A and B are shown apart, each in its own frame.
Chain A
Amino acid sequence: MKELDTALLDWFDERLDIRRAVEWARHKQVPVHRGSVFYYAGGVCLFLFLLQLASGILLLMYYRVGADSSYESVRYISSKVAFGWLVRSIHSWGANIMIFCVFVHMFSVFLMKAFRKPRELTWMTGCVLLGLCLAFGFSGYLLPWNELSLFATKVGTDIIGQVPGAGHWLLKLVRGGDEVTGATLSRFFGLHVAILPALLSLAIGAHLAFVQLQGMAHAEESPKSMPFFPNFFLRDVMLWLVVLNAVAVLAVFFPWELGKKAEALASAPAGIKPEWYFLAQYQFLKLLPARILLIPGELWGIILVGAAGLLWLLTPFWDAALPRDSKEAAVRLAGWGSLAALIAMTLWGRWS
């Protein structure tokens, strides 16, 4: 008599060709060299996305969107529901750590020059994923409807209003009116729980499909490699466990605060700052004078940050166009330079 697990595997194999997938995974090789540790960053981002999905669905069971109910329902989750404080803190910490890991993944890919042909589209879908993660962070920040989130959203959306021509129209579209109100809250909620998850799932699907089709980039000439399954995969899972524990420890010992409920008629509290992942742009905007060459400073801010983002997205193409002898040095300079500038501006924003 055949063992049950073999019988089950056979049943699925006859229908879905499972063994071929396992065989393929076994043959897939991951290069081993001193930068290999960064190959795990993408997997950690994926794991954190799944953790956000699970904790977000749990929060949806009690969260009630609305200017009169959002804050109250989050307070109810944090104070009355069993383990509600844990679920909420895991969602908040998970979001921050996920964005951090996305940055680590992105810069390591950049510095290993893994964006080069044939991986241009993998790089570009990755940039789209970064944008979506930031949109997730921005929209989710408003949902507890507290003082900080209200002002962060006022400022963040006001910048959209500076876009020449379409600014006012865009502002109304995003806010659901002229001001940040319950209508904005409803829109951000819809964005956060329906539109962004759909877009992110599509983008992750494409990103992962490209990675599987092309395999991992060989950053350095290395004769050594290990099979993706089970060797690399098990290391991946082990790291996920470490990350889960880290998030849990942070959530338990540093639970996320709720703050004061948002009031439409209250002054902005002193020392108000955006989340750390927007600090660099925030500091940059603060540095710009009110007008440069008759054009408002904020508009320059949008143009320059937008141009930098576009340049970053198109990295594989300008890299390919660079002369061969100066290429490596230029990319290294661009990578380390951007990373240093981002960290410096973030720290400056934090302590200014």
Chain B
Amino acid sequence: MRLLTRKEFLNLFLGGGALGLVGSTLYPVLRYLLPPEQVEAEPDALKAGAVKDFAAGTSKLVKFGPRPVIVIRDVKGNFHALTATCTHLDCIVQYSKDADLVWCACHNGRYDLSGKNISGPPPRPLTRLDVRVADGEVTVVKTA
């Protein structure tokens, strides 16, 4: 077995020490830069408001846990609830009363009222949530 020469030993010793220093500096810095987890529970149901506040052909954005959800009352008076984050690049969508569909202003993406992507760049449909109307209250419920 060949022993290390003095020079090789010193190089290994100093190189290892330098690597250790870099590692023990970078590790806390990288961990520090990653923000702590913000646990925000997603509710099963959320009251979106009174039925009388939703005229036909209007919509409202509500915060469903960490996610924005768009609650729409279409021109015929039916309720729809969809996740409001465009599947293309994260913009918040809006309800277009004239076309009676969901529209994203960022890159002209369009979805129908069931959430299906029908034109423009969005690659996936919006997620649908259930809407229950009882006692004059509109409640958005996670689809089972």
Q: Please give the residue numbers on chain A whose beta carbons come within 8 Å of chain B beta carbons, in ascending order.
A: 58, 61-62, 80-84, 86-87, 241
Which residues of chain A have C-beta atoms less than 8 A from B28's C-beta?
Answer: 82-83, 86-87
| Interface hits, B11-35 → A, CB 8 Å | 21, 28-29, 31-35
Shortest beta-carbon contacts, A-B, top 10: A83-B28, A82-B31, A83-B32, A80-B36, A83-B31, A82-B32, A87-B32, A81-B36, A86-B28, A58-B32
Q: Assess the B35–A81 pair: CB atoms within 8 A.
A: yes
Which residues of B in the span 24-66 have a Cβ within 8 Å of any Cβ on A?
A: 28-29, 31-36
Chain A nearest CB: distance from B140 CB in Å?
Answer: 31
Complex: A120 Cα to B36 Cα, angstroms: 51
Q: How far is the CA of A58 from the CA of B26 in the complex (A)?
A: 12
Interface SS majority for chain B: helix
In whole angstroms, what is the CA distance A200 to B29 when docked? 25
Chain B residues in the interface with A (C-beta under 8 A) = 21, 28-29, 31-36
Minimum CB–CB distance from B68 to chain A (whole Å) comes to 23
Most buried by A among B29, B31, B32, B34: B32
Measured CA separation A221–B36 after assembly (Å): 59
Q: What is the minimal beta-carbon distance from A23 to any residue of chain B, in angstroms?
A: 25
A80 vs B32: C-alpha distance when bound (angstroms): 10
- Closest CB-CB distance, B1 to chain A, in whole Å? 30
How far is A62 from B36 in the complex, measured between Cα atoms in Å? 11
Q: How far is the CA of A61 from the CA of B33 in the complex (A)?
A: 8
Chain A residues whose CB sits within 8 angstroms of the CB of B35 once the complex forms = 62, 81
Nearest B residue to A80 via CB reads B36
A9 to chain B, nearest CB (A): 20
Contacts of A84 in B (CB 8 A): 32
| B34 contacts across to A, CB distance below 8 A | 82
A and B contact pairs by CB, cutoff 8 A, 25 listed:
A58-B29, A58-B32, A58-B33, A61-B32, A61-B33, A62-B35, A80-B36, A81-B32, A81-B35, A81-B36, A82-B28, A82-B31, A82-B32, A82-B34, A82-B36, A83-B28, A83-B29, A83-B31, A83-B32, A84-B32, A86-B28, A86-B32, A87-B28, A87-B32, A241-B21
Complexed CA–CA distance, A241 and B25 (Å): 12
B contact residues around A83 at 8 Å (CB): 28-29, 31-32
CB distance from B94 to the nearest CB of A (A): 30
Residues of B within 8 A of A58 (CB): 29, 32-33
Q: Which residues of A contact B36 (CB under 8 A)?
A: 80-82
CB contacts (< 8 Å) of A62 on chain B: these are 35
Q: Complex Cα distance A61/B30, Å? A: 12
Provide the bound-state CA to CA distance between A82 and B34, in Å: 8
Alpha-carbon distance A215/B34, docked complex (angstroms): 44
Q: Separation in Å of the B77 CB from the closest CB of chain A?
A: 44
Task: Name the A residues within 8 Å of B31 (CB-CB).
Answer: 82-83
Nearest opposing residue in chain B for A245, CB measure: B21
A80 CA to B29 CA in the complex, in Å?
15
**Distance (Å) between the CB of B28 and the closest chain A CB?**
4
Can you name 15 extra interface pairs (CB under 8 A) apart from A83-B32, A87-B28? Answer: A58-B29, A58-B32, A61-B32, A61-B33, A80-B36, A82-B31, A82-B32, A82-B36, A83-B28, A83-B31, A84-B32, A86-B28, A86-B32, A87-B32, A241-B21
Residues of B within 8 A of A82 (CB): 28, 31-32, 34, 36
Nearest residue, chain B, Cβ from A87:
B32
> Nearest chain B CB to A236's CB is how many angstroms away?
16
Nearest residue, chain A, Cβ from B37? A80
Give the distance to chain B from A293, nearest Cβ to Cβ, in Å.
56
Smallest Cβ-Cβ distance to A82: which chain B residue: B31
Q: Within 8 Å CB of A81, what residues of B? A: 32, 35-36
**Contact partners of B33 in chain A: CB under 8 A:** 58, 61
Expressed in whole angstroms, the minimum distance between the Cβ of A239 and any Cβ of chain B is 15
Alpha-carbon distance between A61 and B28 when the two chains are bound, in angstroms: 14
Nearest CB in chain B to that of A241: its residue: B21
